[in-house]
Amino acid sequence: MDKPLGLSFGTDPTSSLIISQPPGINTAWKHDIIIMDPSNDRPLNHCSGDEYRSISNGKRVITEMDFFAVGSCPKQKACIIKKECIDERVEQQNEDDVNIGLNLLTGNSGSCNKSMVEDGTSQTKEVYDQRKKELELLQAEIDHMNEENQLLKGILNQVNRNYYALQMHVVALKQRQQIHKATTVKNEEVINGNLEEKQRKGSIFARQFLDLGKAERAEMGEGRSQSTSEERNRDCAVSPNIVESMEHNKSQMISNSSISGVFPVLDPLRRSGDGEISDHKTSEEAFHGWVPNKVPKINTSRDVDDEQKEETMSMIRKARVAVRARSEASMISDGCQWRKYGQKVAKGNPCPRAYYRCTMAAGCTVRKQVQRCSEDQAVLITTYEGHHNHPLSPAAMAMASTTSAAASMLLSGSMPSPDGLMNTNLLAKTLACPPGFATISASAPFPTVTLDLTHSPISSSSQSPQGHLLLPSLNFPHNFASALNVSAGALHNQYKVSGLLSPHQGMELPQILPLMADTSVSAATAALTADPNFTAALVAAISSIIGNVQASSNANNSSTIRNSIDNST
């Protein structure tokens, strides 16, 4: 080197060697720096570079090198540079009073000179040996920690995957259980031709769609039997083959909810039946706004095959999500593009019902109906149905994830338990929503969950200035997209995100869009998993679903989840 360099070492022996350039000198240095081991004249470290790395204490730091990392370089050059470096260092000490905090080559002197470096002493040799051993130990420790880190990352990813798979599996189990139950009932019908069985079956299905409020009242009055809870727990236990299905389920989950964004899959089915489910068209219709007349019915024909039975049952489990909100506009903005394809004046409501189809992509099956409530025309009822087959904008994703979460809980949380009673408690617990916020339709042929914003404190401000709908508090621990939103909010140090979080602190969707927009799901997932409390929240979420914990502990559970998320911020 042909110009003075400042050499500095931190007081910590493990610190890097920083070669800095005094202020006023702007030359970029081409240099090679070798730290020699005087005991055997071998290089301990080697560093080269010609760029400024950073500016520290008013001096340009040309480069940094790990003092304790062993390197190599041509010996001849190493010697030359070694000398120059040492010489320059001494000069710098004299001229610029450079503070070198570490006695690099000698253990008993604050200064350094060429002879000591080149000749070495036994004491220096011991110091080098000792530090070399320390270096090796530290290096080994770092390697070990890196390995542990990678392992933990893998575990976390696996937990993440398993969580989604578990969620899907729980739903599948419950669906299978319901199918089995229905099949059993039908077989009994076929064998006995017993009308009572028929009525009992109808009763079971009616129970599925009992009004949540009624269920809550029943729960308050009667409580729930422990045996029922235990049975439900047993039913929700993870089967041995769950691991095998996890990868498959994961892919399904991603395709269903994470990428496309979903409303519940609701393919319209128009099959005739014998009309066991009564067609309620009274206040329920007015409330939900959309009670299709083309009611899927349970086909009790004796020659119906298993496939048809399953299809029928699957259809019954499909859900719709209605959103009631006060709005002056003719339609709430939910981030999707809609094309109106029809309008009808429905019976019992002078306000026309408008039919919209999603036009964001060809072949998208999502439709919605918009109608003002007959009782309060300031209330706009928007009912969603179908499955987006295309990527959604972040705003649409927020709505889709919310409605999907509600429908998902409707399907998974309202399945009949082995005792034939509807598990509305789970839904209520899982929703953790304000009283009366979510209601399951008892009469709609498709199970319909209604998110009622009109009684919420935010009802009057349920739409942002930009027209995006802001939904009130909904805690959807088992919905990935929702969890994603929580995470997104958490990362923004605000966890009041549309569709999930407290209304009075409702967060404008565009605020989370920079994250959500650029993000692929994987990025958001990474952010999610970066949350140190994610695992705790995850455990709580799964517990809330599978464990079917007692109502009294539900509040704690919900708050735990929320607290975990909150704490992460």
Which H/E stretch holds residue 509? Answer: helix 509-518
Name which of residues 537 to 556 contact DNA (CB under 7 A).
Answer: none
Q: Does 347 bind DNA (CB under 7 A)?
A: yes
Q: Does 355 bind DNA (CB under 7 A)?
A: yes
Question: Tokens in use for 52?
Answer: 């400024």
Minimum distance of DNA from residue 438's CB (angstroms): 21
Tell me the window of 308-316, 352-360, 395-403, 511-519 that interacts with DNA (CB under 7 A): 352-360
Q: Is 7 helix (H, G, I), strand (E, B) or coil?
A: strand
Give the N- to C-terminal CA distance of the chain in Å, as an integer.
Answer: 50
Tell me the window of 111-119, 245-253, 254-262, 279-287 that interacts with DNA (CB under 7 A): 279-287
Q: Does 434 bind DNA (CB under 7 A)?
A: no
Checking 86-91 for CB contacts under 8 A at 24+ apart, the result is 86/112, 86/113, 86/114, 86/117, 87/114, 88/1, 88/4, 88/5, 88/7, 89/5, 89/7, 91/4
What's the distance, CA 488 to chain centroid?
8
Which CB, 217 or 344, lies closer to DNA? 344
Name which of residues 284 to 343 contact DNA (CB under 7 A).
Answer: 285, 290-295, 297, 337-343
Minimum distance of DNA from residue 387's CB (angstroms): 14
Which CB, 231 or 311, lies closer to DNA? 311
Which CB, 150 or 272, lies closer to DNA? 272
Which CB, 67 or 290, lies closer to DNA? 290
Tell me the window of 55-63, 277-285, 387-395, 549-557 that interacts with DNA (CB under 7 A): 277-285
Q: Does 224 bind DNA (CB under 7 A)?
A: no
Which CB, 254 or 351, lies closer to DNA? 351
Cα angle 219, 477, 366; round to 5? 100
Minimum distance of DNA from residue 512's CB (angstroms): 26
Residue spans of beta strands (DSSP E) within 40-83: 42-49, 54-56, 59-65
Q: What is the DSSP string of 447-489?
A: -EEEEE-SSSTTGGG-B-TT-BB-------TT-HHHHHHHHHH
* Rg value, the chain, Cα: 34
* Of the residues 10, 49, 71, 268, which one makes contact with DNA according to CB under 7 A: 268
Which CB, 91 or 274, lies closer to DNA? 274
CB 341 within 8 A of CB 368: no
Backbone angles phi, psi at 64, to 5 degrees: -125, 150
Nearest alpha carbon to residue 18 among 106, 29, 26: 29
Question: Tokens in use for 61?
Answer: 């730091």
Tell me the window of 74-82, 263-271, 311-319, 549-557 that interacts with DNA (CB under 7 A): 263-271
CB 29 within 8 A of CB 122: no
What's the distance, CA 203 to chain centroid?
38
Q: Does 396 bind DNA (CB under 7 A)?
A: no
Tell me the window of 75-83, 223-231, 237-245, 272-280 that interacts with DNA (CB under 7 A): 272-280
Cα angle 437, 431, 371; round to 5? 40
Q: Does 248 bind DNA (CB under 7 A)?
A: no
Which CB, 206 or 526, lies closer to DNA? 206
Q: Does 369 bind DNA (CB under 7 A)?
A: yes
Count of residues near DNA by CB under 7 A: 34
Tell me the window of 122-130, 158-166, 199-207, 271-279 that interacts with DNA (CB under 7 A): 271-279
Name which of residues 413 to 432 contact DNA (CB under 7 A).
Answer: none
Residues that bind DNA (CB under 7 A): 268, 270-273, 275, 278-279, 281, 285, 290-295, 297, 337-344, 346-348, 353-355, 359, 367, 369
